[in-house]
Amino acid sequence: MSVYIHSHMDPASDVHDDLKEMLDSNKDSLKLEAMKRIVAMIARGKNASDLFPAVVKNVACKNIEVKKLVYVYLVRYAEEQQDLALLSISTFQRGLKDPNQLIRASALRVLSSIRVTIIVPIMMLAIKEAASDMSPYVRKTAAHAIPKLYSLDPEQKDQLIEVIEKLLADKTTLVAGSVVMAFEEVCPERIDLIHKNYRKLCNLLIDVEEWGQVVIINMLTRYARTQFLNPNINEGGGGEKTFYGSDEEEDEDEEEKEKKPYVMDPDHRLLLRNTKPLLQSRNAAVVMAVAQLYFHLAPKAEVGVIAKALVRLLRSHRFTQFTYLFSHLYVSQGMFEPYLKSFYIRSTDPTQIKVLKLEVLTNLANETNISTILREFQTYIKSMDKDFVAATIQAIGRCATNIGEVRDTCLNGLVQLLSNRDELVVAESVVVIKKLLQMQPEKHSDIIKHMAKLTDNIQVPMARASILWLIGEYCEHVPKIAPDVLRKMAKSFTNEEDIVKLQIINLAAKLYLTNSKQTKLLTQYVLNLAKYDQNYDIRDRARFIRQLIVPTEKSGALSKYAKKLFLALKPAPVLESPFKDRDHFQLGSLSHLLNAKAGGYQELPDWPEAAPDPLRAQRGGEGVCAGTFDLCFPFSSEQSSEEEERKHERKSKPRKSDSESESDEEEESESESSQSESEDSESEAEVKKKKKVMIHRKRNRYRKKPYGAAESKPPSKPVKTESKKEKKEMSLLDLDDCEFFSSLALKNYELLHRITGEGLSVEYCFSRQPFSPDGNMVAVQMQFTNNATSDTKNLHMEDVKLQSGMRVKEFPEIELLPAGETATAVMGIDFCDSTQAANFQLCTHTRKFFVSIQPPVGELMRPVFLTENEFKKEQGQLMGMNEITERLTLDVKCRNEHAIVQRVTTAANLSRVPCGSDKECRFAGKTVTSGSLVLVTVATKEEGAAQLTVNCEKMVIGTMLVKDILLALTQ
């Protein structure tokens, strides 16, 4: 009892002291009570971090209930108290072996919450073991830990993908949603992992937990858009005709299409059939996920099934905002017309929901129900919510615009609102009436006269400005009233708001041009008042209009066209929906609600143009064969592609050459040397195939070497002999590359000007050569020139200032540089894949100069030699957020392949990649420090148009590289 009294009476520190005493006790009951109170504190948002040492002591407690609560606490504070949490790593590892599944899962959860790079191997091992655990709850926790480890160390992606692939094969509903979430976070581009699990996921969907259902449905929506044909493909008529086909062939094609209508893929139908029952889910998010799936995947004739479910959400006030947005897009199909009353607005609805309901009602309006909707709008105008009333008046205006039969009715109703006591209602009505009158001003001169009489009573600036604009625009329809309105406005000109003053000046100018006898003096008076106004916009407008409408000797030729400028016919405004152009975002997404691309948003893929590979249907059973993966999806590993090539070789060779498929390089070299001897006896096709495979393997081995590593060391194994034809092909490849790169002129940058350096000038360039002391550094070649009359001594570097992570290898000191002489030195800089400058002092025996070297992003790369297939495979892995595409118009001098290659490789240190198309140029490289892959594609079109695509693991580098290459190709 005393403990509880202290907890309410004493300061927080005393409460924590009592808890620490209870945690240090030998009684499990006191420890359990203390942990319950601590967890309750955390739940209420109170800080309990100072209890971390006392809680960690009990992580090895034998009481299961205490241990569970300790793990709950550690998950909350492990990231904040990393040092103390690291001391308990061994305890967590023992917890991974605990017989209780909850303890094993909690231990893994805590371990994955300690965000320290040093324990990444331990976390990886724990996740792999947990993925094979007998308990589905532990496997589910392993799936949750995968994104945490990936965010901590993205280099573990390959190993994590293996774990994801294993967990995707799990048949337990408890694991399915979590592993799909991990798949979406780590490798959403690896669609090939879903093939063999697709049908299983569809069948398990009904039994998965609710939030897991949402994740799986969203993933399957994107998957289906890449694997199935558009079910509405034939709705608008037949497909495109062949250009060179004869009329008879076209008739035959049309007959075949009529005989063979679109048949939905069974797997496509399976997805729609298994998700339909989820429209009855109690979770609104599940219903919305199914609704967006049907909207994006189902035939239009079947989309109507979701209307009832969405209306049910409306009536239950759950997930209303997204429901309204769905309704807004579906109204064109008449799907929600039977549920019109469900969109009537209640007084308890928040303003945002009221506006959305108004939007749906406006879109549902047609000739048959417009009278009912207008009566409903009349009720809304009496609301106390002024923003809602304004939105209602705008909705009436849109109804009048869309349905011509009720335009006069709406206009008369809005005119009646002009006598409303509320100024905001009158002001909004004036603005809407102004827009409606522009459509047929000659028929409504009485309304313009009525509005002119309101200038004495309406004080809202926007409304007064709108009335003056109307009178000035249609002054010919009210020739007697307009001058009198100008007279009244001239009296109150100095007291009006700026927006009203501008319209008074416009009204005066228009009346001067159409009725100068009555308004000449008034116009001059108004312009004189405006000439000395405090607002410069009004002063400038007055001077400009005076010179335009009152011609003088100094007036230019523009005054002749004053009437055409002021009295030109203005197009009638279009009252558009504020939700226009929102449907390009995926329905149900945050981006769709905000009408702006939110962080992490993934574009919904387009439907494939051609039917998918029929072998894809095997995914529901044993999975697609490896060969199909290579043909359809560029996501398989290099090893699998090499194995496929070896299998292909075996099929085309006699049995005695099977030894060539061994992975050992010695056996491979022996088989290739024997092959060169018997080359003449084989067919030419087989020889070309073998050479292609050998070149592919050679380049793979070369590409995997670290940059600048051990090229000068002799090979540890005997060099294999090559055939004459192979030697010739390889030498041609090397010769082409050497000739091309030798023709590139390296750009020189000024480091120190001779005037600033008192006779010493320094230039530097990025030599694009390996920096032998350290492969992660960029080689910078510096040229020192002594323009002075005396010698320069002891040239060296001092006081190097770098950003975090950057390193510099200084150039050797130049002891003596005679007058008029030049010296060269090389230094290495590790820029850490950033364009931050390296700052240092360049020192001589007498002076010190502050200088800096900032690299272009293209110099932070090294070339990588890829084959065409390798390029496509790597590019397929770097889609989505790792891809940047820009359209451009090539410079006139840069519209041939040679010029494009020269400019791109000058802008960036990349290598050319072979390409079968003459309208594409491909380049590849890796960043020097992190080894992140960089792929560049320039696709040319007619008349100099081109498309630049950069795929890069680091988006910052990709964005900067796009700018540099665009500049190189367009100037």
Residue 796 is part of a domain; what is its CATH number?
Answer: 2.60.40.1230
The DSSP letter of residue 908 is S
Domain-terminating residue out of 209, 230, 251: 230
* Predicted confidence band of residue 719 (pLDDT cuts 50, 70, 90): very low
Q: Token pair of 234, please?
A: 């034939």
**pLDDT exceeds cutoff 70 at 325:** no
848 and 873 both lie in a single domain = no
Domains contained in the chain, number? 3
Dist CA 397 CA 391 (whole Å): 10
- Domain contains 946: yes
- Domain contains 560: no
Looking at 309-318, 404-413, 451-460, which range is the least confident one? 309-318
The DSSP letter of residue 939 is E
From residue 185, how far is each of 54, 189, 434, 957 by CA, in Å? 36, 10, 52, 22
Residues 941 and 919 sit within 8 Å (Cβ to Cβ): yes
- Domain contains 152: yes
Burial of 46 (0-12, 13-18, 19+ CB in 10 A): exposed
Q: Token pair of 676, please?
A: 């060169």
* Predicted confidence band of residue 577 (pLDDT cuts 50, 70, 90): low
758 and 842 both lie in a single domain = yes
786 and 881 both lie in a single domain = no
Q: Which of 442, 415, 441, 444 is nearest to 430 (CA)?
A: 415
Q: 3-state class of 124 per DSSP?
A: helix
Dist CA 407 CA 409 (whole Å): 5
- Domain contains 71: yes
Domain-terminating residue out of 789, 821, 855: 855
**pLDDT for position 201:** 92
**pLDDT for position 949:** 92
Dist CA 445 CA 380 (whole Å): 29
- Domain contains 965: yes
847 and 873 both lie in a single domain = no
813 and 947 both lie in a single domain = no
Dist CA 965 CA 935 (whole Å): 12
Domain-terminating residue out of 177, 210, 230: 230
Of 244-248, 300-304, 875-879, highest mean pLDDT: 875-879
Dist CA 426 CA 112 (whole Å): 61
Q: Which of 945, 948, 859 is nearest to 910 (CA)?
A: 859
In the chain, the percentage of residues whose pLDDT exceeds 70 is: 76
54 and 192 both lie in a single domain = yes
CATH of the domain at 152: 1.25.10.10
Dist CA 516 CA 522 (whole Å): 9
The DSSP letter of residue 915 is -
Mean predicted confidence (pLDDT) in 806-829: 90
pLDDT tens, position by position, 149-199: 999 899 999 999 999 999 999 989 999 999 999 999 999 988 889 988 999
E strand segments, 703-791 = 749-752, 760-770, 778-786
Beta strand pairing call for 760-770 and 749-752: antiparallel
- Domain contains 292: no
Task: Specify the length of the chain in residues.
Answer: 971
The DSSP letter of residue 298 is S
- Domain contains 298: no
836 and 890 both lie in a single domain = no
Angle CA(851)–CA(857)–CA(860) in degrees, nearest 5? Answer: 85
785 and 887 both lie in a single domain = no
72 and 209 both lie in a single domain = yes
**pLDDT for position 808:** 92
Tell me which H or E stretch contains 142: helix 136-152
119 and 68 both lie in a single domain = yes
* Predicted confidence band of residue 260 (pLDDT cuts 50, 70, 90): low
* Predicted confidence band of residue 427 (pLDDT cuts 50, 70, 90): confident
- Domain contains 83: yes
**pLDDT for position 45:** 84
Q: Which residues pair with 817 in a beta bridge?
A: 792
753 and 898 both lie in a single domain = no
For 91-116, the DSSP string reads HHHHHTT-SSHHHHHHHHHHHHH---
Give the residue ranges of DSSP H helices in 534-637.
Answer: 536-549, 562-566, 590-594, 626-632
Mean predicted confidence (pLDDT) in 381-397: 85
| Residue-range definition of the domain harbouring residue 826 | 748-855
**pLDDT exceeds cutoff 60 at 649:** no
CA torsion, points 66, 172, 225, 333, in degrees to nearest 10? -80
Residues 506 and 469 sit within 8 Å (Cβ to Cβ): yes
782 and 839 both lie in a single domain = yes
CATH of the domain at 891: 3.30.310.10
